[in-house]
Amino acid sequence: MPGKKKDEQKITKGMSIQELVSKHEEVVHVLFEHGMHCVGCVAGQFENIEQAAQAHGIDVDKLVEELNKAVAQEKNKKK
């Protein structure tokens, strides 16, 4: 559709932790709340969100939902 941007901001479970944090540093607190300190972990450079969530026993769909909410809230603050 003309004038409508592709949903580039949407976080998916296939996104790498490194990509997630580099694009959306405002979500780091969500990862920490789930005990995921992937930000400083070497595996975070290679693992995607789904792999990291599975390694930590976290429901990946719920996590992705929370990550997207955090991005949306930050975006709304800037308006």
- Angle made by CA atoms 14, 79, 12, in degrees to the nearest 5: 5
Band of residue 3 on the pLDDT scale cut at 50, 70, 90:
very low
Confidence at residue 68, expressed as pLDDT on a 0 to 100 scale: 97
- What mean pLDDT comes out for the span 52-60? 95
- What mean pLDDT comes out for the span 49-69? 96
Average pLDDT, whole number, for the chain? 86
Domains of the chain, earliest start first: 17-77 (1.10.3910)
pLDDT at 57 over 70: yes
- Which has the minimum average pLDDT: 8-17, 34-43, 51-60, 66-75? 34-43
